[in-house]
Structure 1
């Protein structure tokens, strides 16, 4: 599969969280360590960025609203751009001051699922949360080294979530009302693959997973078997998302962090995946 590098003036220290927002005709993503939000407008290829006062970990659109819901190191806030304003909503981990949020996605019912991690990379203090329109986070799982990549099966019956530090992608049965079934091991990364990072689901129900320290993205079938891989010229590939009106453009983020050898660490890539993604759902609150 072919890939290309999106030309822009800088590179991301820790690019993450690509999110397609159809109302803006734009892909948004964050540089967590660089404390910056980026956007790429697909119609005219315009790239913009906004510096942030602290680490920004993800953004998602909100149903019927112009502001975004954003995860910061300190918690979740309403984020308005142009002019920039940040209005704190809730701090899910005020009791874990060494943690920060890490990766999020909205399910088909408009619920937000997000994780956290120890920002020092020392303790397995990360947790997994669910939040609906009441804006009250509920801790649904705990004990993660690095939470990553929530995504969902094409039929909405399964939620996938990763502990990158354990090299494991889990799956949970997603039940009525957002309840989770037991956690099951779904895909275990081999040592030479690196670590599973962010991921997304295509319309065929296959997972596309970024390989941190593996220099690629891979596609896995619903049974967890690896179907194909796409090598990229950066060691630390962090996440991916389908974008565009037809959801047929796959964008991939990466990190310059801990990558002195690669020519394009921290670049944003576009991969010719040959499949379509699933339509994003805004947060219902």
Structure 2
């Protein structure tokens, strides 16, 4: 759909207000707005890596940059830093994130050295209180919520495992951690995810070259190959939320693979039968 050839495309978020897809290139680094009606992509350069972001109820965005949480205005300009990053930024950065229905912003970190499980999943409340919710992670990913708000899904990509937690939506707390699904193939590494209206979990399998759909019971019910080896995250969009957008990466891929899959780093779109859910917004 968009042959943008991003280095590390990530975090697609559909905005119903302007019928546009917002996304980031973590490594460029940039925040982008893609208008499917005109096929125009607008990129706003960022001063440092931007792992994830979400829309704000008050307008603009809240974003997890390497140095901390920032507000970004509607035109892609940094407004102010909300809070410093809670990690050693020499070898950690923020990664996957999204808002919950109560207006909190969740963002996970990753250990760029990949030598220890020193990353965490954090919860930023609208009053700017920051809490560490899950620890012992190497690369935080796969964050999504069930349609009824009672389950939080989370993946640590190198483990090839997605866990489910009971989620108290009012308190914002987690309990009863269990394995939702574990992928056996070495290259099937769960990256970003989304949940549809039936409660099925869609996971982009980094290095696996596909997106999979998993039932609420943890059974694989759909598999969709892509013209890129490293899809990174998926999001539902379009007027009826029945278009699945998938970002991808081309960084650190060998020339032979890129010659075979030249659209790597692009954003792909496919129509699906079951619609997704509107993306919540940060209330701070």
Q: If the TM-score is normalised by the length of the shorter chain, which range does it land in? A: over 0.9
**Alignment partner of 1:38 is 2:32:** yes
3-state SS in 1 of match to 2:108: strand
TM alignment of 1:207-246, pairs within 5 A = 207-246=201-240
Distance 1:82 1:159 in 2: 32
Distance 1:166 1:225 in 2: 18
- Structure 1 equivalent of residue 56 of structure 2: 62
Question: TM-score, structure 1 length as denominator?
Answer: 0.93
Question: TM-score, structure 2 length as denominator?
Answer: 0.93
- Answer whether contact 1:93 1:99 (CA < 8 A) is retained: no
* Structure 2 alignment gaps of length 5 or more: none
How many Å apart are 1:85 and its aligned residue?
2.8
- Structure 1 equivalent of residue 97 of structure 2: 104
Distance 1:45 1:264 in 2: 16
Distance 2:195 2:18 in 1: 22
- Answer whether contact 1:259 1:265 (CA < 8 A) is retained: no
Distance 1:150 1:233 in 2: 24
TM alignment of 1:264-283, pairs within 5 A = 264-283=263-282
- Structure 2 equivalent of residue 284 of structure 1: 283
- Answer whether contact 1:252 1:268 (CA < 8 A) is retained: yes
TM alignment of 1:135-214, pairs within 5 A = 135-175=128-168, 176-214=170-208
Distance 1:142 1:128 in 2: 7
Distance 1:267 1:70, change over 3 A: same
How many Å apart are 1:60 and its aligned residue?
0.6
- Answer whether contact 2:52 2:107 (CA < 8 A) is retained: no
* Structure 1 alignment gaps of length 5 or more: none
Distance 1:62 1:11 in 2: 28
How many Å apart are 1:263 and its aligned residue?
2.0
Distance 1:124 1:72 in 2: 20
- Answer whether contact 1:107 1:281 (CA < 8 A) is retained: yes
How many Å apart are 1:228 and its aligned residue?
1.0
- Answer whether contact 1:92 1:137 (CA < 8 A) is retained: no
How many Å apart are 1:97 and its aligned residue?
4.1
Root-mean-square deviation (CA, aligned residues, Å) is 1.5
**Alignment partner of 1:88 is 2:81:** yes
- Structure 2 equivalent of residue 114 of structure 1: 107
3-state SS in 1 of match to 2:171: helix
Q: Using the TM superposition, name which of 22-31 and 90-99 deviates more.
A: 90-99
Distance 1:47 1:141, change over 3 A: same
Distance 1:83 1:138 in 2: 27
- Structure 2 equivalent of residue 130 of structure 1: 123
Could you list the per-position Cα deviations for residues 37-95 of structure 1 after superposition, in whole angstroms to 9, with x for gaps in the alignment?
111123333211111111011121111x2221011011110012437234111123245
How many Å apart are 1:254 and its aligned residue?
0.4
From 58, 61, 73, the counterpart of 2:66: 73
3-state SS in 2 of match to 1:186: strand
- Structure 1 equivalent of residue 19 of structure 2: 25
Distance 1:96 1:163, change over 3 A: same
How many Å apart are 1:239 and its aligned residue?
0.3
